[in-house]
Amino acid sequence: MNRGKNNIMRYAFFIGCNIPARVKQYESSSRAVLEKVGVDLVDFREFTCCGYPLRNVDRKAFVLSAAGNLAIAESEGLDLLVLCKCGFGTLKEAQYLMREDNNLLQDINELLSERGLKYQGKSKVKHLLSVLYEDVGVNTLKSEVKIPYKNLNIATHYGCHALRPSEVTQFDNPVAPVIFDELVRLTGAKSIEWPTKLECCGAPLMGINDDLSANLARKKLNDGLKSGADYLCTSCPYCQIQFDTAQDMIVSKNNGENILASVLYPQLLGLSMGIDEETLGIGMNQLDISAIKSYLSQE
């Protein structure tokens, strides 16, 4: 963990490609929440794609994409704070592969030298949730919650690429994770039990097998509704798009299906911290989540 002078937490802020183009509210709400708890974020214009889409194409290319970003953060002595779970998983996997395979590491560094970069494996890769849970701490976060929620049922959606493969990601217990649930609980909301909690949202198949992708999402949405959830909670732009924009597409096809809207974790936390709606981009979600404010205890 980066604690610079005066115990300040500083990270290289890695937001990837999806968020600036399609889920800007995830960036703005994360910045607001992190600022409130004293986390410093450093932006790098030179960051490129993490390499996730290239995993289906070519191994060296995906590792190269990831390694470039890691090297850039390394050159400033910073760990990375990653908002996207696919990005997190990809960067971790690339680190793992370069650690296990020295030939790969050498090839990658040769290619990186064309851009004046070198990867040495010094920077850690952390997801937003890990930073909040481990580095900031539940107690600090709780002390910033000014208007906790009451009677709000949240179905946490952990996503796949942070939890698994656990040997690589080391994010949480892969079959009984707790981080996301505790982070949700500290806002006053209830994190409900639901059977398909740890299942995939289906986003990786969007554009490849749209029916299967929609099927997987629909299974989770129905399960969430049946388990009594008021909202889903995500911390990845792919998952969020799948349950937000894509749900908008799925549900309009079959009349009468109930909607289960999804809120991004920093939006959920931010509202309870008293941060304003506009900064958190509440109105930017495709499905209307403004009703979530009615669960705040002093509203």
Partner 1 sequence: MFFSVSLYCSLAVFSIGLLYKIFTWFSRKVGMSSKHFSTPQRVSAAAKGILVTIFSLKLFILLKVFFLDVILQRRILKEDFLRWLMHMLLYGGFMLLLLMHALDNFITAEMFSDYYSTRNPFMFLRDLFGFMTLVGLGIAIYRRFILKVPRLKTNTMDIYAIIIIAVIMVSGILLEGIKITSFSVFQKMVEEYAFLDDEEEFKALESFWVKEFGVVSPNVEGPFEEETITQGLDTHDMSCAGCHSSPQWAFTGYATAKILKPVAVPLDKAGAVSILWYIHFLACFIGLAYLPFSKMFHIIASPVSLLVNAVMDKDKSNPANIATRQVMELDACTHCGTCSLRCSAAPAYYAFGNEYILPSEKLVFLKALAAGKKLGTAELKAIQEGVYVCTNCDRCTVVCPVGINLKDLWVNVREDLIQTEQPEPLILSPYSFVRGLNRKDVPEKDYLRPLQNARRAVAGEFDSIMDKNRILTLKDSGVSEISKLPESTFSYCFGCYNCTSVCPVVGSYDNPEETLGLLPHQIMCCLGLGLTEMASGANMLWDCVTCYQCQEHCPQNVKVTDILYQLKNSVVSDLGRGKAGRTSVANAA
Q: Is 105 in the site for partner 1 (CB under 8 A)?
A: no
| Minimum distance of partner 1 from residue 49's CB (angstroms) | 4
Residue with Cβ nearer partner 1 (205 or 273)? 205
CA 187 to CA 77: how far, in whole Å?
Answer: 33
| Minimum distance of partner 1 from residue 232's CB (angstroms) | 17
Q: Is 241 in the site for partner 1 (CB under 8 A)?
A: yes
With CB under 8 A as the contact rule, the residue among 45, 102, 139, 255 that binds partner 1 is 45
- Beta carbons within 8 Å of 145's beta carbon, 6+ residues apart: 186, 187, 188, 269, 272, 273
CA 271 to CA 290: how far, in whole Å?
Answer: 11
| Minimum distance of partner 1 from residue 60's CB (angstroms) | 6
With CB under 8 A as the contact rule, the residue among 109, 140, 222, 245 that binds partner 1 is 245
CA 294 to CA 242: how far, in whole Å?
Answer: 25
| Minimum distance of partner 1 from residue 81's CB (angstroms) | 18
| Minimum distance of partner 1 from residue 127's CB (angstroms) | 15
Rg from Cα positions in the chain: 19
Q: Is 106 in the site for partner 1 (CB under 8 A)?
A: no
With CB under 8 A as the contact rule, the residue among 3, 4, 20, 173 that binds partner 1 is 20
With CB under 8 A as the contact rule, the residue among 24, 36, 44, 53 that binds partner 1 is 53
Q: Is 164 in the site for partner 1 (CB under 8 A)?
A: yes
Query: Considering only CA atoms, which of 41, 44, 43, 45 is closest in space to residue 8?
Result: 41
- Beta carbons within 8 Å of 288's beta carbon, 6+ residues apart: 261
Tell me the per-residue interface mask from 191 to 230 with partner 1, x by CB under 8 A, - otherwise: --------xx-xxxxxxxxx-xx-xx--x-----------
Residue with Cβ nearer partner 1 (40 or 107)? 107
Q: Is 5 exposed, middle or buried (0-12, 13-18, 19+ CB in 10 A)?
A: exposed
Q: Is 24 in the site for partner 1 (CB under 8 A)?
A: no
Q: Is 188 in the site for partner 1 (CB under 8 A)?
A: no
Q: Is 250 in the site for partner 1 (CB under 8 A)?
A: no
| Minimum distance of partner 1 from residue 292's CB (angstroms) | 24
Count of residues that bind partner 1 according to CB under 8 A: 57
CA 41 to CA 35: how far, in whole Å?
Answer: 8
Stretch that binds partner 1, among 42-50, 124-132, 139-147, 272-280 (CB under 8 A): 42-50
Under DSSP, the state recorded for 280 is H
Reply yes or no: is the peptide bond before residue 204 cis, omega within 30 of 0.
no
Q: Is 52 in the site for partner 1 (CB under 8 A)?
A: yes
CA 112 to CA 114: how far, in whole Å?
Answer: 5
Q: How far is CA 18 from CA 31, 52, 61, in A?
A: 16, 11, 19
Q: Is 49 in the site for partner 1 (CB under 8 A)?
A: yes
Q: How far is CA 218 from CA 40, 214, 258, 271, in A?
A: 38, 6, 11, 28
- 3-state SS, 117-135, equals CCCCCCCCEEEHHHHHHHH
Contact set with partner 1 (CB under 8 A): 16-18, 20-22, 45, 48-49, 51-61, 64-65, 68, 86, 101, 111, 114-115, 160-161, 163-166, 174-175, 199-200, 202-210, 212-213, 215-216, 219, 238, 241, 245-246, 249
